[in-house]
Chains A and B, each alone.
Chain A
Amino acid sequence: MLTKRIIACLDVDAGRVVKGIQFVDIVDAGDPAELAARHASEGADEIVLLDITATHEGRATLLETVRHTARMLFVPFAVGGGIRSAHDAEQVFDAGADKVSVNSAALADPTLIETIGRSFGAQAVIVAIDARRDPEAADPVRDAQVFVQGGRKPAGRRVVEWAREAEARGAGEILLTSMDADGTRTGFDCALTAAVSQAVGIPVIASGGAGTVAHFTEVFAAGKADAALAASIFHFGVSSARSLKQGLAAAGVSVRLPC
Chain B
Amino acid sequence: MRVTVIDYKAGNLTSVLKALRHLGAEVEVTDSDLGMVAAAERIVLPGVGHFAATHRLDASGLTLAIRAAIARGVPFLGICVGMQWLYAGSTEEPNQPGLGQFLQTCARFPDGPEKVPHVGWNSLKVHADSRLLAGVEDGEYVYFTHSYRAPVTTNTAATTDYIETFAAAVESGNVMGVQFHPEKSGETGLMILRNFLALEPAEAAC
Spell out A's residues near B (CB within 8 Å): 1-5, 40, 45, 70-72, 74-76, 93-96, 98, 119-124, 172-173, 201-203, 226-227, 256, 259
A2 with B145: CB separation less than 8 A: no
- Also in contact, A123 and B121, with CB within 8 A (given A75-B184, A75-B186, A98-B12): no
Spell out B's residues near A (CB within 8 Å): 10-12, 14-15, 18-19, 22, 48-50, 115-123, 141, 143, 145-146, 161-162, 183-187, 189-190
Complex formed: what's the CA distance from A203 to B119 in Å?
7
Q: Which 6 A-B pairs have the closest CB atoms?
A: A121-B49, A123-B145, A121-B48, A256-B141, A256-B121, A93-B12
Q: Closest CB of chain A to B141's CB: distance in Å?
A: 4
Tell which of A4, A45, A74, A119 touches B190, judged by Cβ atoms closer than 8 Å.
A74
Interface SS of B by simple majority: mixed
Q: Closest CB of chain B to A138's CB: distance in Å?
A: 27
Complex formed: what's the CA distance from A61 to B141 in Å?
34
Q: Supply 7 further A-B pairs (C-beta < 8 A) apart from A74-B184, A123-B145.
A: A1-B161, A3-B122, A74-B22, A76-B143, A96-B15, A98-B15, A122-B49
A123 with B115: CB separation less than 8 A: no
B19: which A residues are within 8 A, CB to CB?
74
A3 with B120: CB separation less than 8 A: yes
Residue of A nearest to B144 (CB): A2
A202 with B14: CB separation less than 8 A: no
Q: Closest CB of chain A to B130's CB: distance in Å?
A: 21
Complex formed: what's the CA distance from A3 to B142 in Å?
10
Q: Closest CB of chain A to B12's CB: distance in Å?
A: 5
Tell which of A5, A40, A96 touches B120, judged by Cβ atoms closer than 8 Å.
A5
B120 with A203: CB separation less than 8 A: yes
A71: which B residues are within 8 A, CB to CB?
18
A94: which B residues are within 8 A, CB to CB?
12, 14
A122: which B residues are within 8 A, CB to CB?
49, 117
A3: which B residues are within 8 A, CB to CB?
120-122, 141
B50: which A residues are within 8 A, CB to CB?
121
Tell which of B22, B119, B141, B184 touches A226, judged by Cβ atoms closer than 8 Å.
B119
Q: Closest CB of chain B to A205's CB: distance in Å?
A: 10
Residue of A nearest to B161 (CB): A1
B18: which A residues are within 8 A, CB to CB?
70-71, 96
B118: which A residues are within 8 A, CB to CB?
2
A259: which B residues are within 8 A, CB to CB?
187
Complex formed: what's the CA distance from A45 to B48 in Å?
19
A203 with B48: CB separation less than 8 A: no
- Also in contact, A226 and B115, with CB within 8 A (given A1-B161, A74-B19): yes
B15: which A residues are within 8 A, CB to CB?
70, 96, 98
A120 with B143: CB separation less than 8 A: no
A203: which B residues are within 8 A, CB to CB?
115, 117, 119-120
Q: Closest CB of chain A to B194's CB: distance in Å?
A: 12
Q: Closest CB of chain A to B191's CB: distance in Å?
A: 11
A75 with B143: CB separation less than 8 A: yes
Complex formed: what's the CA distance from A227 to B143 in Å?
14
B162: which A residues are within 8 A, CB to CB?
2
B48 with A74: CB separation less than 8 A: no
Q: Closest CB of chain A to B19's CB: distance in Å?
A: 6
B11 with A120: CB separation less than 8 A: yes
B187: which A residues are within 8 A, CB to CB?
74, 259
Q: Closest CB of chain B to A193's CB: distance in Å?
A: 14
